[in-house]
């Protein structure tokens, strides 16, 4: 594993538990992938909302981290997610982008997609530490 991969969190235990893959994290943007598996299902057999939120929050965190020279420097203050369609199988990707990088806070948006269809849309405020 390269130093850059280590710095962007590929080796986090929680990320490994979910099966998250960080595909890109640079210049205030990130792309993270999640493959559906049985451990992520809710009681209805669909992707659990918490797993989807974790994908979104991780992508946003990686977008934030990409602006801080690889040093953890922010935490999620709040996040609003609109869940739009259920997921039963397959892969999702989440693209996150920092919209505002202020002195104390960042505003970040994200879209989770499956086969080009919008699954969830989110906007969050991160506190810079």
Residue-wise DSSP of the chain: --HHHHHTTTT-HHHHHHTEEEEEEETTEEEEEEE--GGGB-TTSSBPHHHHHHHHHHHHHHHHHTTTTTS--EEEEEEEEEE-S---SSEEEEEEEEEEE-SSEEEEEEEEEETTEEEEEEEEEEEE-
Q: What is the dihedral of CA 84, 53, 13, 37, to 10 degrees?
A: -20
Q: Give percent of the chain above pLDDT 70.
A: 91
Confidence (pTM): 0.91
The tens digit of pLDDT for each residue in 45-83 reads: 999 999 999 999 999 999 999 999 878 889 999 999 999
pLDDT band with cut points at 50, 70 and 90 for residue 12:
confident
Strands 20-26 and 105-114: unpaired
Q: Is the pLDDT of residue 107 over 60?
A: yes
Q: Give percent of the chain above pLDDT 90.
A: 84
Which pair of tokens denotes residue 19? Answer: 């099966």
Which pair of tokens denotes residue 114? Answer: 């499956």
Full set of structural domains in the chain with CATH? 3-128 (3.10.129.10)
């Amino acid at each position: 594993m390269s130093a850059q991969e280590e710095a962007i969190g590929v080796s986090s235990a929680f990320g490994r538990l979910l099966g998250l893959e960080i595909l890109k994290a640079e210049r205030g943007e990130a792309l993270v992938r999640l493959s559906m598996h049985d451990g992520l299902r809710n009681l209805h057999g669909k992707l659990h909302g918490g797993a989807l939120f974790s994908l979104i929050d991780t992508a946003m965190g990686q977008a934030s981290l990409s602006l801080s020279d690889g040093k953890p420097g922010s935490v999620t203050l709040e996040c609003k997610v609109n869940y739009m369609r259920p997921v039963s199988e397959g892969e999702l990707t989440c693209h996150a982008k920092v919209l505002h990088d202020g002195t104390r806070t960042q505003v970040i948006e994200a879209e989770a997609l499956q086969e080009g269809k919008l699954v969830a849309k989110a906007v969050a405020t991160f506190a810079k530490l």
